[in-house]
Amino acid sequence: MNYQELAGQILKHVGGGKNITQLNNCATRLRMNFKDESRVDVEALKKIQGVMGVSKKAGQYHIIIGPDVANVCNAIKKTAHIDTANSPNKSHGKVEQVLDIFASIFTPVIPAITAAGMIKAILVLCVLLGMSKESQGYIIVNFIADAGFYFLPIMLAFSTALKLGCNPYLAAMIGGVLLHPKFAGLVSAGDPVSFLSIPIKLVNYGSSVIPIILAVWFMTYVERFADRISPKPIKFLMKPVLTVLIVAPVTLIVLGPLGSNIGTVIATGTDFLNTHVSWLVPTLMGAFMPLLVLTGMHWSFLPILMTSYTTYGYEAVMGPGSLVSNICQGAASLSVALKTKNKTLKQLAGSAGITALMGITEPAMYGVTLRLKRPLIAVIIGGGTGGFYAGIMGVVRYTSGTPGLLSLPIFIGENPMNIVHACIAAAIGFVVTFILTWILGFEEPEDEFNDTDGQNEKQADHINKKSILSNKSIVYSPIQGEIVALSKVNDETFAKEITGKGVAIAPSGNQVVAPFDGEVVTVFKTKHAIGLRNNDGVELLIHIGIDTVALEGKYFTVHVKDGDAIKKGDLLMTFDKAMIEQEGYDCISPIIVTNTQVYAEVFSVDEGSADAGDRIITVI
């Protein structure tokens, strides 16, 4: 693989390095955030040789590369100057922003945790083969592995600072304060310690997670305060000194103990579940992991996983269930590949099934099980069954890594039977899912589009009759006017369907109404555009005019807000068409399905007139 060439192609289709605000990688994926998502061509990215898939989760784009992802990430960084100091995209909801913060904080440190855990697994094998734990070789390699966990606060300090926008080196220094040998000595001695007559709780912060995140969060405010009050001639000296002298004592006195208590509660809760109902969490995770991944909610478990690794040296919350779930995705896809008579689906399901068994499930989930529906039911049942076995047998994951056949060593630890039971759980999930998928069956792709609604027949004649899957969702016109093919819009981003497929309307009225039942996802600050999601999950962008963002909200009145539930026909927005055109702007309004990539096809009417409420888009 030519990493430099692949990096260049990726940069070309994401709007260049200057459009990237966040860039990191995990075991198989590039994780990217952008200033302007309209410049990201998802379909073009998917066609690049070396890219296995593209998805968007928790407000972040994932470009699946495989084991070479770190080399590709480094090549991108070398090829372009990337400004990663910008704040995250505020257009996402609060939950997505929190999940994005978790992902950005923990993802960069995963390679270190993975390395530490895998070295521990190698040591276990060496001991089984006769190595003495008292030998110098064992001791040296063991403390090399321990370093990845013990100095976790410093690594998390750096990644947290990068995400929250404060100085990462000062943050790392605060992490060093928590781990300093002098403080560790005070903790070991156990004698009372105080600062300015204020008692300091003695806590061992090695391998801790929550305390340093709280400290760096506090530091973002202190650093801004120090910047504001420091005189310009001495700001270079005064700002960092004030920051450290405020943050370090507050962390030792308040935030460190608070974070330690939170970590203790998390660890205690995890230990309680593992001790008293060990089958419950792996069963639920095995069953519902596809839904967690689909919504991005799996990121919310990262603090729990990290706390468990650093407290016990393993975790049983996500690893066992996700292993079974990933194998079940592969089983369902392979069952579909063997049963289907459609050559295209057979090829897609076969390749997706193999990659899912290796731990990369996006092609299987988005391309097969989620689309065909019934195989996803089989995955949920099979995942729950295998997860239940893993739970009652006490299977744990000793280090981070995407669970699959290639990464089974992450289940090697002190208990030699752990990996055996992990393999049995995966096998149970595979067999149950494969058989259920075969029995439940699925709708074969049809040869042509059939308009079963019997409405708007004149408009339906313009819909391209392609091979599609059976389920569909209808988008009705939110605006009265003339329908225009997207390719004729005088804006390359929309015309080339970079943001997704859809249609445009040259408005004759001045109202925008809800095109379906659903919710408001985003009302843009400049009021010229609004993002919606219907009850089937179709995400729609209604963009009034071309380049009207420059009007900064003039001539637009929005009647809804983020999170509002909407019914078809509800008034969303009004705009002054005459004044917008008088300012020199084209009022033609693109209506885009922004998550086009997760559907089999998006069909749209490409000419004629439309009243608000007429069908204009069919999503399959």
Active site residue ranges: 26
Q: How far is CA 21 from the centre of its chain?
A: 15
Residue 389: left (phi > 0), alpha (psi -120 to 50), or beta?
alpha
Place of tokens 């709708």: 443
Residues 435, 338: contact at Cβ < 8 Å? no
User: Could you write out the DSSP letters of every residue in 309-328?
Assistant: HHHHS-B-SSHHHHHHHHHH
Backbone angles phi, psi at 516, to 5 degrees: -170, 175
Question: In 3-state terms, what secondary structure has residue 131?
Answer: coil
Backbone angles phi, psi at 500, to 5 degrees: 135, 170
Pairing of strands 60-64, 193-195: unpaired
Place of tokens 């204009």: 616
Amino acid at 134: E
Tokens describing residue 390: 């893993």
Spatial separation of the C-alpha atoms in residues 317 and 417, rounded to whole Å: 19
For residue 151, what is the DSSP state?
T
- C-alpha dist (Å) from residue 114 to 145, 156, 327, 388: 10, 15, 21, 26
Residues 264, 194: contact at Cβ < 8 Å? no
User: Could you write out the DSSP letters of every residue in 339-396?
Assistant: H---HHHHHHHHHHHHHHHTT--HHHIIIIIHHHSHHHHHHHHHHHHHHHHHHHTT--
Rg (CA), the chain: 27
Place of tokens 């990493």: 3
Beta-carbon contacts of 525 under 8 Å, excluding residues fewer than 6 positions away, are: 553
* DSSP β-bridge partners for residue 513: 571
Question: With 0-12 CB in 10 A as exposed, 13-18 as middle and 19+ as buried, what is 150?
Answer: middle
Nearest-CA neighbor of 358 among 407, 311, 309, 313?
A: 407
Question: In 3-state terms, what secondary structure has residue 391?
Answer: helix
Orientation angle between helical segments 152-164 and 94-106, nearest 10 degrees: 140
